[in-house]
Amino acid sequence: MIEVTSRDNPLLKSIRRLAQDPSAYRKQGKVWLEGDHLCRAALDRGVKPLQVVITQGAWQSATLSWQDVCEQVFVVPQALFAKLSSLESPAQMGFVVECAQDPQVLPSMPTVVLDRVQDAGNVGAILRSASAFGFKQVLAMKGTAALWSAKVLRAGMGAHFGMNLIEGCSPDSLSQLDTPLITTNSHQGPFLHQLLAQQGLPSVCAWVMGHEGQGVCEEIMALAQLQVRIAQPGGEESLNVASAAAICLHASASAALNSEV
């Protein structure tokens, strides 16, 4: 256990950059996980932190021996920890963990493609749905919110650590996939519920989720083997992209489960 009382400690300065700059992880090769829930979710998926940073109060009342989790445990005053936080109500502890470097596309993996999805909350929610419904790979097109930023990590609630995440992709990257590409379209294609009832969905596929305002770009739309619509009997013009993703990915998971019965 190492006690730290200076805000100029090199580790704390590094964490502040990770917490405040959405792209800092790309330079450092590390990410900052803040909060007990997110840290435990990482541990449950086999992640070993490089450092644990915890407030004095949380250290004294901890039910888990953090020294068994990591060799480097830094204990800081509550006020100093608050300076690291990007939350309105700062947490009591966090992890510094390594970020996967240069992951490769897995051609046959059930995949979600994010085409310039810009809201960090939407991106994190889609990752969480993808993980829940068995889609273990995400390809993020250029213009998509940074997958490992603090806001996306919080919204993902630990989903990151069980997935193959690839950023900075272009439409050409999709040629590496062996799975059929499916896009949503507000104006054409069969309705998803009718498709499920009539012919089903491919057992393994890649769903494309597009920009919040512009949808899927024409170049990727042209590559799709299938375009589908989501019925909206209530009359709204469109769905939030994270909601649409949850519906589509659940439909794929349901179709796969039904095919096993």
Domain ranges of the chain: 2-98, 111-260
How do residues 186-215 score in pLDDT, each as one tens digit?
777 889 998 888 878 887 999 999 999 889
Mean pLDDT value of segment 60-88: 84
Task: Give ∠ CA 169-171-174 in degrees, rounded to 5.
Answer: 85
**Are 186 and 214 within 8 A, CB to CB?**
no
* pLDDT tens sequence across 104-163: 999 999 999 999 999 999 999 999 999 999 999 999 999 999 999 989 999 998 899 989
DSSP3 helix / strand / coil % (the chain, rounded to 5):
40, 20, 40
| Strand 206-210 versus strand 111-115 pairing type | parallel
CATH for 2-98? Answer: 3.30.1330.30
CATH fold of 111-260, please?
Alpha/beta knot (3.40.1280)
Closest to 72 measured CA to CA, from 24, 19, 10, 25: 10
